[in-house]
């Protein structure tokens, strides 16, 4: 069994998992050294790179598309492409994680449909904190569901900007590189995305919103 087959067969990364000591020590310098080994034909360099970079790529893809299966496919496709052509990464233009996230983004775009993708909370969220009271768990779950539902309604470009900067807390320059746009364009998309997201959340919380939603669903049934 090849190294990549073993890697591809692993369970998807846990989005909230803390990196192990080996992963935490894989800095940009170490990544560059591992990539050099990979370019020289050392397939063993792929595994530590995968261990270090796959959780972040998966988190980005999951937040962007809202579907765990799509996110896992996009993450693995990014690594397949990178393993086949490691010379494509230029350390002078950004981190390896940003490069892989950009590749995952292209894969997701190829599968994207015009309609919003529903977010499966059970795939994206960790188990409830047992220390929380049931009432607190319910409120937290409802709040998360509202945010994800509103996020899913945003156009792709606005959603991506919000995901990269607000959810993943990436620097503006790195977010712009992943999205493949100029910095000013990224800032504009982020501003408009935040405004739409806030408006959607405020609209949902207005008095009578639940009744109106029920009336609309009843009429369409």
Per-residue pLDDT tens over the stretch 94-113 = 889 999 999 999 888 887 65
**Per-residue pLDDT reduced to its tens digit, 120-145:** 443 444 444 455 555 555 555 556 66
- Predicted model pTM: 0.60
For residue range 162-198, list pLDDT tens digits in order.
989 988 888 999 999 988 899 999 999 999 999 998 8
Tokens linked to 119? 């977010």
Closest of 142, 143, 151 to residue 118, by C-alpha: 151
Domains and CATH numbers, the chain: 1-115 (1.10.1740.10), 127-221 (1.10.10.10)
Sign of CA dihedral 164, 165, 170, 175: positive
Burial class of 175 by CB neighbour count within 10 A (0 to 12, 13 to 18, 19+): buried
With contact defined as beta carbons under 8 Å apart, do 118 and 150 qualify?
A: no
Reference 60, options 167, 190, 173; nearest CA is 167
């Amino acid at each position: 069994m090849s190294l990549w087959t073993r890697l591809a067969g692993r369970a998807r990364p846990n989005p909230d998992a803390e990196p192990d000591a080996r992963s935490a020590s894989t800095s940009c310098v170490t990544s560059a050294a591992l990539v050099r080994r990979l370019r020289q034909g050392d397939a063993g360099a792929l595994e530590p790179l995968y261990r270090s970079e796959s959780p972040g790529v998966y988190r980005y893809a999951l937040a962007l598309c809202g579907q765990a299966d799509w996110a896992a496919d996009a993450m693995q496709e990014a690594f397949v492409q990178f393993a086949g052509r490691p010379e494509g990464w230029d350390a002078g233009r950004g981190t390896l994680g940003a490069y892989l996230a950009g590749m995952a983004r292209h894969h997701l775009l190829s599968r994207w449909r015009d309609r919003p993708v529903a977010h499966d909370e059970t795939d994206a969220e960790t188990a409830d904190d047992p220390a929380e009271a049931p009432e607190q768990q319910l409120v937290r779950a409802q709040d998360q569901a509202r945010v994800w539902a509103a996020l899913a309604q945003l156009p792709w470009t606005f959603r991506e900007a919000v995901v990269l900067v607000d959810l993943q807390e990436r620097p503006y320059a790195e977010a712009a590189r992943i999205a493949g746009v100029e910095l000013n364009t990224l800032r504009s998309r982020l501003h408009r995305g935040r405004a739409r997201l806030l408006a959607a959340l405020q609209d949902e919380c207005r008095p009578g919103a639940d009744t109106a939603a029920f009336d609309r669903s009843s009429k369409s049934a």
